[in-house]
Amino acid sequence: MKLHLEIASCVRATSKFSQCTKCVDACPESVQIVNNLPTFAKGTGVEAAACVGACPTEAFSLSDFSATEFFFTFLESKVRLVSPKINVPCLSVLNIEHLISLALASEEPIILDLSSYDPESQLFDLIEARIEEANFVLSSISSKQLETNLEKVETVLDAESKEETSRRSFLGNASLKGVMKHKRVFDEAVEAEELRSFELDSSVISKIKEKHLPDKRKILFTTLKRAEVPETFDVVATEDISFISQKYVDENCTNCQICYRICPTGALSSDKKFSLIHFDAMLCVKCHLCHDVCEPDAIHLQEGFEFKEFFEPQQRTLATFTIKRCNECGNPFTYTGGEQTCPRCLIEEEEAMFLHNNARQMRGES
C-alpha cells in the first residue's frame, strides 16, 4: 500500500499564497510543509493516511484502495458495516462527502466501526468529527443518519456473517488485494511512494492549469440527484460546513482575474471578455485558494450555507465589470470611470512624467 501525492492537484502548487494545511492537520507526524509544498516526513509511517480523506482536491491517493471504487462496491454488496477490519484501510480515508453519499445511497443504515481506534487519539477525534459533520448535514437534508460502533468488532461481524454476501467475497471485490485488514498492520504497511520533497517542473505546471472536480464531489452530486428532496431547506452557519461554501465579492474587487483563473475546480469562472465573476457552489471544495490570492480581500464566505444549493444548484454572478479598450494601447481593461486609460498605461504615464520632472529640475528649470 503506497501513498501518492499528485503535486499538480495541490492548491499550494497553484499559488505560493495558498495557506492550505489540511493534510498536515490530519497527519502532522507524516506530512510537513517544506518550501511551501507538502512533503512526506522521512522515516515516518504514514499515520492511517488521514491526509487522503482530508485533501479538498484529492491530491493524495493510495495505491491499493480507491474510495470511489469502494463506494460503488460497498453499495452493491449487502454488508452495511464500514470497518478497517473488513473493507477500508482506515475510516479516515473517507471524506465527509463520502460519508454523506454512503448514507444517502443506502436503503439500510450504515454502521461505522470505530472499535479499532484509541478514543484518546487524534485520529479518533478526526474520524469522529467527520462523522458528526456528515450526520449534521444529513439531519438537514434527509431522515438518514450514520451509526457508529465502539464495541469489539467481532460481535458485529458475527451478525454480518449471517448476511448472504460473505465478507470474503466482498473483500475480493473491494480492491484491497488482501494486503491488510487492521489499522495497526495498515500503519506499518503504508509508506510514502517517494519519501522526498516535491518541486514544480514544467510538466507539473501545465497540469496545474487543468480544472478538475474531485470524484467525491461527483459522487455527492449524483447521490443528491437521486435523493428525496426535503420539503424545506435549512440554512446553517458557514463554519459548520467544511467541504463546500457560498461566496460573495465586495466593491474592492479590481477584477484582477486571479481567483477565477486559478480556482482548481472551476467553481469560479468568467466569460470570454472577463467581464464578470460566476460562482457555482456545488463545484467549490472550500480549499480557500481564492481568498488566499485576493490582494484586496474582496472575496468572502457568505454568512449561512443554504442547503437548497444541494438540490437546486445555481450559477450565481458575484460581480460584473465594464470592459473598455484603452485609448492609449488599445487593450481591453476593467473600466471604473474617469479617463479611458488602462492601469498599465497610467503607470507608464506617471513614470514618464516623473522622469520628465526630474530632468527639468536637474536643468534648473522650475
Of 118-126, 151-159, 169-177, 294-302: span binding ligand SF4 (CB under 6 A):
294-302
| Selected binder of ligand SF4 within 35, 121, 257, 357 (CB under 6 A) | 257
Q: Which of 88, 289, 342, 345 binds ligand SF4 (CB under 6 A)?
A: 289
Interacting residue with ligand SF4 among 220, 290, 326, 345 (CB under 6 A): 290
15-23, 63-71, 196-204, 234-242 -> range binding ligand SF4 (CB under 6 A): 15-23
Rule CB under 6 A: say whether 10 interacts with ligand SF4: yes
Task: Tell me, by CB under 6 A, how many residues bind ligand SF4.
Answer: 37
For ligand SF4, the closer of residues 46 and 180 by Cβ is 46
* Site for ligand SF4 contains 293 (CB under 6 A): yes
Q: Is 38 in the site for ligand SF4 (CB under 6 A)?
A: yes
Using CB under 6 A, pick the residue from 208, 258, 276, 323 that binds ligand SF4.
Answer: 258
Q: Does position 53 bind ligand SF4 by CB under 6 A? A: no
For residue 225, the minimal CB distance to ligand SF4 (Å) is 21
HEC string of the chain equals CEEEECHHHCHHHHCCCCCCCHHHHHCCCCEEEECCEEEECCCCCCHHHHHHHHCCCCCEEECCCCHHHHHHHHHHCCCCEECCCCCCCCHHHCCHHHHHHHHHHCCCCCEEECCCCCCCCHHHHHHHHHHHHHHHHHHHHCCCCCEEECCCHHHHHHHHHCCCCCHHHHHHHCCCCCCCCCHHHHHHHCEECCCCCCCCCHHHHHHHCCCCCCHHHHHHHHHHHHCCCCCCCCEECHHHCCCCCCEEECCCCCCCCHHHHHCCCCCEECCCCCCEEEEEHHHCCCCCHHHHHCCCCCEEECCCEECHHHHCCCEEEEEECEEEECCCCCCEEEECCCCCCCHHHHHHHHHHHHHHHHHHHHCCCC
User: Residue 36 or 341: which CB sits closer to ligand SF4?
Assistant: 36
Considering only 23, 27, 96, 156, the residue that binds ligand SF4 (CB under 6 A) is: 23
Minimum distance, C-beta of residue 144 to ligand SF4, in the bound complex (Å)? 27
Q: Is residue 220 within the footprint of ligand SF4 (CB under 6 A)?
A: no
Cβ atoms of 236 and 310 within 8 Å: the answer is no
The residue behind cell 449534521 is 136
Q: How many residues does the chain have?
A: 366
Establish if 46 lies at the interface with ligand SF4 (CB under 6 A): no
Q: Which is nearer to ligand SF4, 231 or 251 (CB)?
A: 251
Among 1, 259, 342, 345, binds ligand SF4 (CB under 6 A): 259
The residue range among 51-59, 83-91, 144-152, 153-161 that interacts with ligand SF4, by the rule CB under 6 A, is 51-59
Residues lying near ligand SF4 in the complex (CB under 6 A) are found at 10-12, 20, 22-23, 38, 54-57, 59, 249, 253-259, 263-265, 267-268, 284-290, 293-294, 296, 298-299
